[in-house]
Structure 1
């Protein structure tokens, strides 16, 4: 997802935090203007499709709203962003996008607690390609829906039991992207032990079932593929001091496919997260991870096997109203699949995302911000799975919120 599509959501989050100080509700408008040097993520050395401009200037006009309301022992929270997007050159991409989320943190008079959440989003996705590796010639919207439920027993005791479940669905408006659509559901069970002090341990199991209803459309008699992933997760949380915390997760998982079982594999994944907040003007987050399949924060495809990533984000408040944000993401992916169901393709690629942003809280309700980012992906050893590209995105936004 291109960064300019995230700006309104980032502002909505900032507005929610500000609004929570005075009122449980907020309502506002936002305007962003962004230039993207490679809107379609066209391959290096490749011309854009006929009639298309490689670069474009994009205008987003958004309505934002949110709520953060305690209700007895419960807390209802949510946000909504609806944007009208206009493109200067590729104007047939003009359309409406949105991002909605609603959650309920609940607690009983006993030792039961948990969360219920749901999200829905519609986003323009021109940065993906067809199964044949061709750039898209039409507007392509990604529609995603997700719901999750978690219940805990013993949240105020040293030992906590947890049960959870969730569902997710992703669809695309372009027919040529149907092979990427999927349905997913998962269930989990685990326990967490806090022996005292600043240390906690967790152990859990998770099962994820994914269905790709059109993965092999036009290639096999039955176009659907199904995938099951069983995982055991172990985690440690440690806060050695008031200014920093460490979280470690290790997972051992086995993935099995119903069709083309050459894609079956077992792997170990995990993540190490360090957060540093000394209570002053600077905060830092560092994450080192190996993720499997489509679980990575890096955009992946149905053929992604593992993704190694290193992410660093630093936030610094110059004054009470001006803040800077710097971020770096480095990644390396292993992909294995058969885009045309003919033979097996396997390869690696790597890339990076670098960004720098500034935000000015002009008044309690008015926020101005600018952001610059550079995105790069190197060539894959098998070009059928991915290709090299680079893009630069520059943008500025303003948001006015009533509380």
Structure 2
């Protein structure tokens, strides 16, 4: 698969899916338009190491929201465009435009076939702490293009067969050594042995390449996963999902990242009352080829992270019909190396760190088309070895308040 053509293919898929929607009409308009304004205060803009000078700033984000959600016979088409112009009060060099264009078509036949087709294009300012070696401290935009498809046969039967393919391309404006192209194929069989229980056995194969690794010498990555996945609907208010995978990953250049180990994820969604929702998740995975519970979706970042274990708990409480309170806590431990900037395995250094975060948010919906809200995010990272040269400790507090107006 030629991933150099992925942006053009992505745009073509988006245009084709959106074109399908123009042939359909509904009594209630499936379209929406929105505008937003957000003010954000960041206490450590560049994620500078603890104990040293930090750069804080305030920036204004002016956004537009476009979307549709259209049913077409047995099919359903959804699409959204979120774009923001971000302007910093003091650090004008970081001014940027971020956007995310998503389209999804869920399809089904009169028989037992179903599936989906997804396309996504996004751009954002890269996180400063991702570059652990601090080789670049300016503005660095990252662009991601994704196309994926998944098909299933079975549905109402006891057995369901599925297969899919996804392609991703990530490009960095100022750090091309982190550019990566990836495609993943998957297939599996699901069984429903009883009401509320589904078990799946499947396999994934991922082929990725860092084309600019080590002064233009590419790094080819091969990953193979054997997946065991289960979903248990314990009650109408509780759903438990688990994945355990035997993972083998090999690199042609970043030899320190070769491994053969177990990866996996666990998620629990619980609604103790009609107004309270709790989501708990635990995951252990690498960057390349990592998978969510939606088998057709693969996610990755191209930082120095080699393996990450994360525990997160999120809660939402509907205080009234117009006021919602959100909260979240997470802790993440990772092992990492500097192989993306070190030439040759002999010069690769390893380290580990832990990041803890707390989030609080309050949303107010005075009327159907208006949403107001404020939030605060605390983040603290500690390192196992203070003398490490590839990771460091830092802390940051981010405050934001926003307003959104929608027309439907």
- 1:55 aligns with 56
CA distance in 2, matches of 1:360, 1:202: 41
Structure 2 CA distance for partners of 1:71 and 1:65, relative to 1, 3 Å: same
Partner SS state of residue 41, structure 1: coil
Decide whether the 8 Å contact of 2:133 with 2:338 is kept in 1. no
Partner SS state of residue 179, structure 1: helix
CA distance in 2, matches of 1:252, 1:376: 32
- 1:36 aligns with 42
- 1:347 aligns with 351
Worse overlay, 122-131 or 31-40: 122-131
Partner SS state of residue 146, structure 2: strand
The answer on 1:194 being equivalent to 2:196 is no
Structure 1 residues 345-383: Cα deviation after superposition (integer angstroms, max 9, x where no partner): 111110111100000011110000101010111125363
Partner SS state of residue 229, structure 2: strand
Partner SS state of residue 93, structure 2: helix
CA distance in 1, matches of 2:50, 2:136: 13
CA distance in 2, matches of 1:384, 1:213: 25
Structure 2 CA distance for partners of 1:296 and 1:201, relative to 1, 3 Å: closer
Decide whether the 8 Å contact of 1:380 with 1:386 is kept in 2. no
- 1:213 aligns with 211
Structure 2 CA distance for partners of 1:299 and 1:396, relative to 1, 3 Å: farther
Structure 2 CA distance for partners of 1:126 and 1:307, relative to 1, 3 Å: closer
Number of residue pairs the alignment of both structures matches: 372
CA distance in 1, matches of 2:377, 2:194: 43
CA distance in 1, matches of 2:43, 2:267: 32
Decide whether the 8 Å contact of 2:333 with 2:354 is kept in 1. yes
1:232-251 matches, cutoff 5 A:
232-251=226-245
Partner SS state of residue 128, structure 2: coil
1:3-402 matches, cutoff 5 A:
23-47=29-53, 54-128=55-129, 132-136=133-137, 138-174=138-174, 177-217=175-215, 223-294=217-288, 295=290, 301-338=302-339, 339-341=341-343, 343-381=347-385, 383-402=388-407
CA distance in 1, matches of 2:246, 2:235: 30
How far 1:264 moved relative to its partner? 1.1
Structure 2 CA distance for partners of 1:170 and 1:304, relative to 1, 3 Å: same
Gaps of 5+ in 2: 1-25, 293-298
Decide whether the 8 Å contact of 1:226 with 1:258 is kept in 2. yes
TM-score by length of 2: 0.87
- 2:6 aligns with none
Gaps of 5+ in 1: 1-19, 49-53
How far 1:22 moved relative to its partner? 5.1
Decide whether the 8 Å contact of 2:179 with 2:302 is kept in 1. no
Partner SS state of residue 388, structure 2: coil
TM-score by length of 1: 0.88
CA distance in 2, matches of 1:90, 1:126: 16
CA distance in 2, matches of 1:296, 1:394: 31
How far 1:69 moved relative to its partner? 0.2
CA distance in 1, matches of 2:38, 2:337: 38
Partner SS state of residue 216, structure 1: helix
How far 1:386 moved relative to its partner? 1.8
CA distance in 1, matches of 2:191, 2:132: 46
RMSD: 2.1
